[in-house]
A and B are shown apart, each in its own frame.
Chain A
Amino acid sequence: MRGPLAVALGILTAIGGFLDAGDLVTNAVVGSRFGLTLAWVVVMGVIGICVFAHMSGKVAAVSGRATFEIIRERLGPRAAGANLVASLAVTVLTLTAEIGGMALALQLASSVERRLWMPVAALAVWLVLWRVRFQVMENVTGLLGLTLIGFAVALYLLGPDWGELARQTLQPAVPPSEGAAVYWYFAIALLGAAMTPYEVFFFSSGGVEERWTVKDLATSRLNVFVGFPFGGVLSIAIAGCAAVVLLPLGIEVDAMSQIVLPVAQAGGPLLLAVVIVGLVSATTGAALETALSAGYTLSQYLGWSWGKFRRPAEAARFHVAMIVALVVAVGVLMTGVDPIAVTEYSVVFSAVALPLTYLPILVVANDPEYMGEHVNGRVLNAVGTLYLVILVVASAAAVPLMIVTEAGA
């Protein structure tokens, strides 16, 4: 499919696919505690993910190869191996959060206990990975995920004091009820949520799955630079809903059910139903992407054949890796751990792992051997390097802040 329709579809799925459990939970928690005083971090994170997703998409389109294959080649087996272990751990943790998120979202519409949903959710994810074509899978979850626009509609219907929200966004300050350390801890969590490493693995491997070439670069750039910012707007709308309804009541979000209360207040059962569809699709889409990313990174590092464009029998180890990741995720959730807590940890550990993911991409995108004339320009390099510095600082500060704040208590 080519032409304007394909472009529109790409942008819409980029918007709908932008949000995952980490974004949903972290933005709602932050909104209910800090209002919009941390919205600037979302903006910063969205710019960052745009820049690096664009770079990794470009690498995939120009070289026809995925990120981890090149990381392995450039870093050598030892450094790349350490990188693999860290990335894989964070990706499986994120997968666990997404499966948990699916179960929590399904519980909102069914009153069936969440722990009964978890294996069902994982099984559904596996079946889709096994049977459904890559593009169908991406388009369906992406388009259904668009229903999360319900959060923006809800914020509008709530009729908030826009001046006050704008003031919080543009002149951020630590709210008097919270300490500075907690504020910065959640700033890092938000950055980790917006820039989750699996997103770039997925984006670059997805480019190979969809057989991008240099001709697709313009489309890919458009998807990223238009789609992701709209996704960021939805993130801020989620925080805004929590800030307007939950913050004044003293409700600190610690459950999925609280995230949708502002939507119900604004738009009643209909809007709520729409948003729950969005929650289920967003977490399902992200569960598929994280499971695939776990398979991609491992297979690309070890040189196994990978990809959904191959029949499962031709990429058996790739599929086994994904099954193992799913089993691990369900196993962790079955211990009775709170999926929301898993999600909060997953975004912070994502932040810790960010430089490991983004440094190699920056290096490879500058390598004329892979990129030819498409190496990064000055502006892209300047922004990329600036972000790398920010990510290193955030990564180094994440664990100490986690200790000091007792994980944001």
Chain B
Amino acid sequence: MIAGDLIDVEVRDADGERLGYVVDLRLVLDRPPEAGAVLAGARLHGLVVSPRTRTSFLGYERTSVRAPWPIAQLLRRRHRGSFLVHWPDVASVPSLDATRRGKGAIVVLRRGFDRYDPALT
């Protein structure tokens, strides 16, 4: 699986209720470097789910980025209600078949998953 198989994909909860779309992946660099690599290995920490839009945050998920004010406001409004869900709370990812066909791909979350603040400080 590559990042592109998850980004833009619809997200549902265990009851099949639509929650939004995957707009970003959060990675943590805390694994030992792979052979010959300088940088720490990356681990998938979780998915950022936005309820209404597949468009990107354009970097405004960082609370330190507030300028220019109107654009920051507009993007925050569009992504209101976005949340971060940890990777262990993801019950299923799109099947290889659905990814290939380019439709019917969904991410399903575990019952009782936790919503975290997606903001980066």
Q: Which residues does A use to contact B, with CB under 8 Å?
A: 74-79, 359, 362-363, 366-369, 375-376, 378, 381-382, 384-385, 388
Task: Determine chain B's interface SS by DSSP, over half rule.
Answer: loop
Q: With A78-B8, A376-B68 given, is the CB distance from A367 to B56 under 8 Å?
A: no
Find out whether the CB atom of B7 lies under 8 angstroms from the CB atom of A74. Answer: no
A62 CB to nearest B CB, Å: 16
Find out whether the CB atom of B65 lies under 8 angstroms from the CB atom of A366. Answer: yes
Decide yes or no whether B91 CB sits under 8 A from chain A. Answer: no
Find out whether the CB atom of A375 lies under 8 angstroms from the CB atom of B8. Answer: no
Residue of B nearest to A362 (CB): B68
Find out whether the CB atom of B58 lies under 8 angstroms from the CB atom of A375. Answer: no
Which of the residues B54, B56, B58, B68 comes within 8 Å of A384, measured between beta carbons? Answer: B68
Which of the residues B7, B8, B55, B68 comes within 8 Å of A366, measured between beta carbons? Answer: B68
Interface 1/0 per residue, B61-89 and A, CB below 8 Å:
00011011111000000000000000000
Residue of A nearest to B55 (CB): A79
Find out whether the CB atom of B71 lies under 8 angstroms from the CB atom of A362. Answer: yes
**Bound CA–CA A8/B88 (angstroms):** 61
Give me 17 other A-B pairs in contact (C-beta within 8 A), A78-B54, A388-B71 excluded: A75-B58, A76-B7, A78-B8, A79-B55, A362-B68, A363-B58, A367-B59, A367-B65, A368-B65, A369-B59, A375-B67, A381-B69, A382-B68, A384-B68, A385-B68, A385-B70, A385-B71
Residue of B nearest to A73 (CB): B59
B8 CB to nearest A CB, Å: 7
Find out whether the CB atom of A368 lies under 8 angstroms from the CB atom of B56. Answer: no
Q: With A76-B7, A78-B8 given, is the CB distance from A381 to B68 under 8 Å?
A: yes
**Bound CA–CA A384/B69 (angstroms):** 11
**Bound CA–CA A362/B74 (angstroms):** 14
A374 CB to nearest B CB, Å: 13
